[in-house]
Amino acid sequence: MPASFDVLVPGSSIAFHGGFFGISAIVMVTSGGRRALFDVGHGVTRKMLIDALAARGLSPADIDLIVLSHCHFDHVLNLDLFPGRPMIMSRDERNYIEDPFAHDWVTPRFVPALLEGRELRLTEGEEEILPDVIAFPTPGHSPGHISLELATEDGPTVLAADALKTAREASTGIPDLEFDPQKRGRASLQEVLRRGRTIVPGHFPPFKADERGKLTWSDVQELPLILR
Ligand SMILES: [Zn+2]
């Protein structure tokens, strides 16, 4: 059985003047009889995540493994839903969160406390973390950012997280928010595009790439807006 994925919470880039809603994609990966979550999302999507699992007959207890792309607040705040679950992130990101850049306003300084007591596997470079699931470094947006490449029935699929957040980044090749002063984000973005025939961005519906690399997407995103 090849690896498969299921977008539990669709990423979007809905913003308002002075802020944004922090809706990052939360993707369930199934491979080798195990279920992993790639990122756990923001508190604002906590109920969406629980409801999405329930709609599949699952609860947080059915998730075997948590993989973090990076530690921005919109990707990590539901970690407590998965107590005791083993986790994977990069060694670079684990080191980074102990002393984030002063200009980094999206990495909460309390993230190390969220990881206390966790069984943590730290990746270095490219590593197979489950059968047919490779974690590879995509630094730039954050110094230790990782993305996942899955061998699926539909070909290579990249779960990019914030190494490729939106269609605009894919078309311009320029990352919007690059906190790492080493400026490796453009190369990471290209690496995501090079590897994936299907790409799940961090804040946009999934893309399909044709043989020439032309990207298309067909998903219509519906997000009811309730004002009160
Ligand atoms: Zn981010």
pLDDT at 210: 85
CA of 71 to the centre of ligand 1 (A): 7
Percentage of residues of the chain with pLDDT beyond 90:
84
Cα 1 to middle of ligand 1, angstroms: 31
Q: What is the pTM of this model?
A: 0.95
How confident is the model at residue 123, as a pLDDT?
98
Distance 218 CA to ligand 1 centre (A): 24
**From ligand 1's centre to the CA of 185, what distance in Å?**
12
* Gap from CA of 40 to ligand 1 centroid (Å): 12
Q: What is the distance in A from the centroid of ligand 1 to the CA of 131?
A: 26
162 Cα: distance to centroid of ligand 1 (angstroms) = 5
For residues 138 and 118, give the distance between their C-alpha atoms in angstroms, rounded to a whole number.
Answer: 24
pLDDT at position 155 is: 94
* Cα-to-centroid distance, 34 and ligand 1 (Å): 26
Q: Are 5 and 160 in contact (CB under 8 A)?
A: no
pLDDT score recorded for residue 108: 96
Domains of the chain: 4-216 (3.60.15.10)
Binned average pLDDT, 10 residues per bin, the chain of 228 residues: 94 85 93 97 95 98 98 96 97 98 95 95 97 98 98 96 94 92 96 96 92 81 79
* 150-170 per-position pLDDT tens digit: 999 999 999 999 999 998 999
Give residue 113's pLDDT. 96
